[in-house]
Structure 1
Amino acid sequence: MKDQSKHHSSDSEEDDDNDSTKDPFSDSATILVESSDSPSSPPPKYTRETFEYAEPGHDRSRRGPDEETGGQGGLVVSGSEGHLWMQASTTLVIAVSGLICAGWLLDAVQHWPVFIEISELIILIPILLNLKGNLEMNLASRLSTASNMGLLDSPTTRIAFIKGNLALLQLQSLTVGSVAGLFAFVLGMIVHPTTNDLSEIAIMITSSMLCASVSSFVLGSFMCALVLICRHYKINPDNIACPLASSFGDLVTLVILSGFAVFLVKYIDTPLSEILLVLLLMLIPVWLYYVRRNKFVSEVVKEGWGPVFAAMVIASTAGLTLERYINKFPGMAMISPVLNGLTGNIGSIYASRISTALHANIEEAYRATEKTLFLVHIPIEIMFLAVVGILELGDVQWSVSVVVGYTIVSMTLVVIALLLAKWITRLFWKWGYDPDNYALPILTSLIDVLGTALLVMGFWALGYGQSTAGVPE
């Protein structure tokens, strides 16, 4: 959202700002800066005259000059590297468990009759997962910023904010679900033209919309509850909400999509899919009417579509790549969701923290956060390789060269994700757009494409799967 209003501090507040422009604690994950030091143009979305900012989970023994008295001039946001490591590592371990389950499920459902009969569903999966993940991560990012700014502390504003955002999520999910289903089907016809009837198109779009709506209700409610719990226990939701929204979103969405596709294909010769499709399309203006009347999301509904649909176009490349190579490289269905999901989670944590800092008119200690997030990624990748190897999940043909190749790919992708998260978030802010709504969709879709491409190139370079699946064209 473009915000053209300026925040004017009193002279005394300016003096306070000038007296506390540096955090005396070098290990703090976030430092205090003046308004003029933060990345360019727009002022904070939530002004300090309305909300006092203090990041949950920071060390209360380390106070800035104004934090002791609750003054608005000096805002100190800490949260040491230790806090970040603890919160992010715990969350990412839980998240990677969900990603492993999603990868295992994808490896299984690709052989189901419905996915063989309507092969475009394979193309739909990464597109829909990316779109749905972006919607929930945007919600998590908005909730985290609002929570850290104190917007959710008042029962009145909390209820209105949450209701508005859940309604917005339904509107977005139904819209992107319909577009994703149709877009995936068109891509499938372009890649391998076959005789397709209206029943298959209806099943694709209806499955996509039903899946998007139901999973949005489940995950949106979970995200709201999670952020409120984090606020209560003084934990920074920026370090937790986005990864869980993405990872469990993939698993829940894949389960629901597979279930609806299996159910609807049984009635392919009846008008059931078409009737459900009409009903779902009729719900879109209903949700739009409600959202436009809610002051907390009435502006978001106008601006959030561009990045989401741009992400869909970008993610379609990953979908086409996955559909082409999923049978040529054994175990790719198991590895790809975890690689892209875990790396996307790390990037989303970083982007969410930067977005909150920009809204609060403070500055993230970029190098410290980047180092911590890069290092926390290593043991989690080791855990993933160990779990998949020991439990023999998927059809992965593990060897020393494959492990080394995967490690190189994952390390490279994490570095790229951190660089992209910082660059994209700050760039949107500089242009006057709210990064809570713009940064994450573009970031995660780019990571999906780059991760899938790097994985394919790595497998190809190693000659992986060629003995059983043939050499990629």
Structure 2
Amino acid sequence: MSPRPLSRAVAAFLAGVRALVGLLRRHARFPVLTEVLQHWLHEQRTVRQGVLALSIGIGITLVAGVVLGAMDALLEELPGLLVLAPAAIGMRGAIFGALGARLGTGMLTGQMDGSFARTSFLGRNVEAATVLSVITAVILAAAARLVGVIGGFETISFTDFVLISMIGTILSSFAVLAVVIVLARTAQRQEWDMDAIGTPIVAASADISTLPALVVGTFAVGNETASGIIGWAFVVLAVTIGVLGLRTASSSVRRIVRESLPILLYTAAMGILAGTVLESRKADLLSSVALLVAVPPFISSSGAIGGILSARLSSQLHLGLLEPTSVPRRPAWLEGSLTVLFGLVGYFAVGLLTAIAAGLLGYGGPGLLPLLGVTMTAGVLALFMIFAVGYYAATASFRFGLDPDNVGIPLVTSTMDFVGILCLTVGIVVIL
């Protein structure tokens, strides 16, 4: 659906909400529902921009799903690649989603001044994202190989993993970084809500760029001697950049790297676990490729919806509009209602568009209604985790003196990489 018809559909929906609120007020019925609907109307700019960004993100990540479906022969040829792929996608989304959230907060607090200098707010944040990208590329390679050893299944070598991971990281990071910077500058000029549009667009960019970048990385694999030399050289490079990043003169870069690394280690673990689940079900997915196509848009949508929640909660904590209480209060629950709205729209779109794409491309699959049943069932399960992880990641980090922008989005998106796969698996079992 193009932006203009989608905007009209959202406007019609909001008009219906406005009429329903008027009806509920006249009859003094369902005060909680009335308050939720009034919150949607109060945040109608966020609803419009969030639904548009989420829809664009789903459309883009559907292409990533099609790419994944077309990689079936490569997945058979390079055992363990399916373990690395979700983790690499999740890592790009976590690092650059957090970058987008920090830039959004910088706009609200007046720190984003438009300068591209290394010492500027933008420059320091880009430097930190670059350091984290290089470090985690090697971490993911090591984790993918370790899982194969522990799990007792065949994988490519560690240095092959490093080559594929590092080349994929470099290529996709350039692409996603460009998207984040253009998006942030445009949002600043147009006064868009970066918290609503940032994560869906960044997550989609990570999906669509990472999978092709990993495929390019596989071209470097083949010569065992060359892979060993270049792979270990990349390891040394990552360690060197990591040390420099942790000891840089810029206190803000040091803080971002130090606060982000533990969370990104968790991101790596969740992504590798998600990939391991996929690897264990590879035969089933390859026999019904439509389900494989659904994986990237479903996981990306879950992370994007959680990212919107986390980014908005983070901004409210920074501005003093939300108290970091152990039990969510009314403002947090109202934000959660927006999460439900985005989820219902997003997961329905995933099922519908996946079925259409699979049908057009001739991929095997269960059909439209079963696919909708799978994505909606899995989505309802995912929404509970999205709210819980999003709220407590933002508030706990804030209470411990950490920047929620460095913690919230990576924690939410990485958790949903793994939990989303589990929810999708449950949906497949329940419906199919």
> How many pairs align?
380
- Is 1:81 paired with 2:43? yes
Code of the residue aligned with 1:251 in structure 2: it is I
CA distance in 1, matches of 2:158, 2:294: 29
Instruction: Tell me: CA distance 1:83–1:269, structure 2 relative to 1, closer, same or farther (3 Å).
Output: same
2:307 maps to 348
Give the conservation status (yes or no) of the 8 Å contact 1:152–1:158.
no
Residue number in structure 1 paired with 2:226? 271
Shift in Å, 1:99: 1.4
Write the deviation string for residues 48-87 of structure 1: whole angstroms up to 9, x where unpaired: xxxxxxxxxxxxxxxxxxxxxxxxxxxxxx9932111111
Task: Give the letter for the 1:353 counterpart.
Answer: R
Which digits, 9 at most, give the CA deviation of each residue in 1:262-315, with x for residues without a partner?
A: x112x4244155226415633653575377133432322222110110221123
Q: Does 1:438 align with 2:395?
A: no
Alignment check: 8 A CA contact 2:134 2:241 kept: no
Say whether residues 1:177 and 2:137 are aligned partners: yes
Find the counterpart in structure 1 of residue 294 from structure 2: 335
Note if contact 1:143-1:227 (Cα within 8 Å) is conserved in structure 2: yes
Deviation at 1:102, TM superposition (A): 1.1
Normalised to the residue count of structure 2, the TM-score between the two structures is 0.81
The CA deviation string for residues 304-338 of structure 1, in whole angstroms up to 9 with x for no partner, is 11011022112322111111113214233211222
Larger radius of gyration: 1
- Between stretches 405-414 and 385-394, larger displacement belongs to 385-394
The 3 A distance-change label for structure 1 pair 193 and 90 is closer
Q: Report the Cα distance in structure 1 between the residues aligned to 2:306 and 2:333, rounded to whole angstroms.
A: 14
For the pair 1:109 / 2:71, whether they are aligned, the reply is yes
TM superposition shift of 1:442: 2.0
- Does the 8 Å CA contact 2:138/2:166 hold for their aligned counterparts? yes
- Give 3-state SS (helix, strand or coil) of 2:252's partner: coil
Root-mean-square deviation (CA), in Å? 2.6
Within 5 Å, which residues of 2 pair with 1:53-452?
Answer: 80-112=42-74, 115-153=75-113, 155=115, 160-194=120-154, 200-261=157-218, 263-265=219-221, 267-272=222-227, 274-275=229-230, 277-279=232-234, 281-282=236-237, 284-286=239-241, 289=244, 292-329=248-285, 330=288, 331-363=290-322, 365-391=331-357, 392=359, 394-398=363-367, 400-452=369-421
The equivalent residue for 2:423 is 454
Identity of aligned residues (%): 19
The answer to whether the 8 A contact 1:421-1:443 is kept is yes
TM-fit CA distance, 1:356: 1.2
For 1:268 and 1:357, the matched residues in 2 are separated by: 52
Which one-letter code corresponds to 2:244 in the other structure? Y
Distance 1:140 1:290 in 2: 20
Post-superposition shift, 1:435? Answer: 1.3
Q: Pick closer, same or farther for the CA change 1:323–1:156 going to 2, 3 Å.
A: closer
Aligned-partner SS, 2:254: coil
Please list every run of 5 or more consecutive structure 1 residues that lacks an aligned counterpart in the other structure. Answer: 1-26, 28-77, 465-473
Residues 109 and 271 from structure 1, CA distance in 2 versus in 1: closer, same or farther, beyond 3 angstroms? Answer: same
Check conservation: 1:174, 1:280, Cα contact below 8 A.
no
For residues 156 and 264 of structure 1, what CA distance do their matches in structure 2 show?
A: 33
Alpha-carbon offset, residue 257 of structure 1: 0.7
Q: Please state whether the residue corresponding to 1:327 is helix, strand or coil.
A: helix
* CA–CA distance in structure 2, aligned partners of residues 213 and 422 of structure 1: 32
**Relative to structure 1, is the Cα distance of residues 380 and 268 closer, same or farther in structure 2, using a 3 angstrom cutoff?**
same
Q: What CA distance in whole angstroms lies between the structure 1 residues aligned with 2:224 and 2:417?
A: 36
Q: Distance in 2 between matches of 1:390 and 1:127?
A: 27
Answer 1 or 2: which has greater helix percent. Answer: 2
- Give the TM-score of the pair, scaled to structure 1: 0.74
**What amino acid sits opposite 2:233 in the alignment?**
V
